[in-house]
Amino acid sequence: MKLSNVALLALLGHSSAKVLGVAPEDQAKYQPDANNNWACLNHPDIVISFDQINDDICDCPDNSDEPGTAACPGNSFYCENKGHIPGRLPSSRVNDGVCDYEVCCDGSDEWLLSEKGLVPKCENKCKEINAKYVKEQKRLKSIKEAGLKIKNHLVEKAKKLTTQLGQELQKNEEQLKAIEIKVAEDEKKLAALLASSSTGIEEAIPEEIAKIQNDLKELEVKYSAAFDAINKYVANIAIYKQLLETMKAEYNPNFNDPAVKAAIRSFEEITANEGETIDEKSRTQLASGKLKFSDVISNLGEYRPQSTPQSTGTLSSYIDSKLRLAKLWLIDNGLLADSSFDSYQSSSSVDNAEVTLLQNIVNKKKTELNKLKTDINQLRSDLASSNYGRHDILRSLKDTCISNNLGEYTYEFCFNGQASQRDRNGQSTNLGKFDNIKYPDNSDSVILNFEHGAKCWSGPIRRASVELVCDDHDEILLVSEPERCEYFFKVSSPIACAEDKIVDDEVVRDEL
Ligand code: MAN
């Protein structure tokens, strides 16, 4: 069976003959030696006649001698498809009587039977097939361009959303700082108030004493003249008393002087009653003229109130205030729930209106702080999330859901949401929640994975993979269930349109 190679050799000349079924880059490997022999490609020790190539008999253990026939299994047949795109056909489909135009538009896969005159030659349809192909590529190109436009809008929208979130985060962080400063100030004030609530009485008393001392000093000035006069009279009385004592001792009772006798009698009466009206100390003081109003006043300076922090009432409020401060510290450091402060407050013995008001303000601000902190954490993790895909594109599709009735079931999924399957009775089954986005290598597609759906009866937990392929609109094209309760969606979507994948049909046309 040497027809093909012989014919080609005769036609094209020995050295430039092309071996059928071999790609241009491998043609050099198929050259005869000077004796018109050829060695198997991976077995150089096995040398066959060059005419045995493509003679429909498999001679080489590596199948290399039959690239253009079906004689060696597992080979692939190269068809040149001039004017279109070259193709490769499994060798089993070569010379089987069927023109495989979808791969070999030039009909070269069916050469043997036609050469033998057993079947008509497969005519070359590359021109028309290429024309259709170019048209289809144009259509796809315009769809991709439209899809890309939509995708770019989505990317822009996602960028704006990301910027907005960043701004919101910044605003919240600034607000957090401001409130933290305010709370720290209020807490300082509160601590001062609480501390003063236990020492206020003590501080107030010396103040009152000072005031009283002041008033008394004014009184002292007012009454000191009177006191001086009294002291003067007291001193004079002592002199008069001394005179009377002398007179009483030295008078001559033999002189019958009734005036002297009456005076001495009155003096004796006064002296006898003296002990009942004035004590010895006062008498001495009076006698020495040392009774001073200022002594009374200075004694007041020594005065201290009976109630101190150690007394029962003040001690409890003192401890109370310290406990309060400790609680505030625990709350501030996140070791105690804010609410526990409220209950503590109500049972507290401190009922100062200002303290209560300030505590309410601090508590309110702390609730605000906690909410802000939660918001900030959420925003931070949202902004850092890689689950929105490249360019954060899924941010723009957060609320987008698509569905399609595909016969037995209506399937639906929301980007970033849930996938579901609804039967004809409207019964919906959860096929999973959006979990991650993947960009498989060597593919333009984008895969969204949905996990942790409803459990399958005596089977696995449902999950779904959604493969997005480039298009100018979102549409669920098909849904299959390759494994029980594992679903596969094929969905057209602009987000799978890749810029570098637009087919350049001009190149194809140039080759025609
Ligand atoms: C339902 C559907 C099917 C699934 C079976 C498993 O009928 O969710 O897709 O295969 O349950 O029991």
Residue 426 domain-assigned (yes or no): yes
Residue 95 domain-assigned (yes or no): yes
Mutate to test the pocket of ligand 1, among 485, 486, 489 (most ligand atoms within 8 A of CB): 485
Enter the tokens of residue 234: 């007291």
Angle, CA 186 vertex, CA 185 and CA 189 arms, to 5°: 90
436 CA distance to ligand 1 centroid (A)?
A: 24
In angstroms, the Cα distances linking 404 to 27, 407, 411 are 51, 9, 6
Residue 161 domain-assigned (yes or no): no
Residue type, 359: Q
402 CA distance to ligand 1 centroid (A)?
A: 21
CATH of the domain at 449: 2.70.130.10
Q: What is the pLDDT along the chain (512 residues), one digit of tens a residue?
A: 444 454 444 343 444 579 999 999 999 999 999 999 999 999 999 999 999 999 999 999 999 999 999 999 999 999 999 999 999 999 999 999 999 999 999 999 999 988 888 888 999 999 999 999 999 999 999 999 999 999 999 999 999 999 999 999 999 999 999 999 999 999 998 888 888 765 544 455 566 667 777 777 777 777 777 778 888 888 888 888 888 888 888 888 777 788 888 888 888 888 777 655 555 665 565 555 555 556 555 555 454 444 444 444 455 555 555 566 556 555 555 556 555 444 444 444 445 677 888 888 899 999 999 999 999 999 999 999 999 999 999 999 998 999 999 999 999 999 999 999 999 999 999 999 999 999 999 888 999 999 999 999 988 999 999 999 999 999 999 999 999 999 999 999 999 998 765 444 443 443 43
456 CA distance to ligand 1 centroid (A)?
A: 7
Q: Whose CA is nearest to atom 2 of ligand 1?
A: 485
Q: Domain containing 435: what range?
A: 397-496
Residue 247 domain-assigned (yes or no): no
Per-residue DSSP letters for 251-273? --TTS--HHHHHHHHHHHHHHHH
Domain boundary among 77, 105, 123: 123
Enter the tokens of residue 304: 């201290």
Residue 230 domain-assigned (yes or no): no
Residue 505 domain-assigned (yes or no): no
Domain boundary among 82, 106, 123: 123
485 CA distance to ligand 1 centroid (A)?
A: 6
Q: What is the DSSP letter of 21?
A: T
β strands within 9-126, DSSP E: 37-40, 43-49, 76-79, 87-90
Counting beta carbons within 10 angstroms of the beta carbon of residue 115, is it exposed (0 to 12), middle (13 to 18) or buried (19 or more)?
Answer: middle
Per-residue DSSP letters for 399-460? T-EEEEE-SS-EEEEETTSEEEEE-TT--EEEEEEEEEEE--TT-S-EEEEEE--PBPTTS-
Residue 233 domain-assigned (yes or no): no
pTM for this model (two decimals):
0.57
Give the span between the Cα atoms of 146 and 135, in whole angstroms.
Answer: 17
Q: Whose CA is nearest to atom 9 of ligand 1?
A: 485
Residue 450 domain-assigned (yes or no): yes
Give the span between the Cα atoms of 247 and 264, in whole angstroms.
Answer: 8
Residue type, 462: R
> What is the number of domains present in the chain?
2
Residue 109 contacts residue 21 (beta carbons within 8 Å): no
In angstroms, the Cα distances linking 480 to 397, 410, 483, 485 are 24, 12, 9, 10
286 CA distance to ligand 1 centroid (A)?
A: 119
Helices (H) and strands (E) counted in the chain, each on its own, are 10, 12
For residue 14, the number of C-alpha atoms closer than 13 Å in the C-beta half-sphere is: 7
Q: Smallest Cα–Cα separation from 405: which of 430, 429, 424?
A: 424
Question: Which atom belonging to ligand 1 lies closest to the Cα atom of 462?
Answer: 8
Residue 335 contacts residue 327 (beta carbons within 8 Å): no
Enter the tokens of residue 120: 């008509």
Enter the tokens of residue 100: 């495989």
Domain boundary among 123, 148, 180: 123
Any residues with Cβ below 6 Å from ligand 1, and which?
A: 421, 429, 456-457, 481, 484-485
What is the per-residue burial (b if ≥16 Cβ within 10 Å, else e) of 83-107? bbeebebebebbbeeebbbebbbbb
In angstroms, the Cα distances linking 318 to 184, 308, 351, 412 are 22, 10, 13, 66
Residue type, 50: F
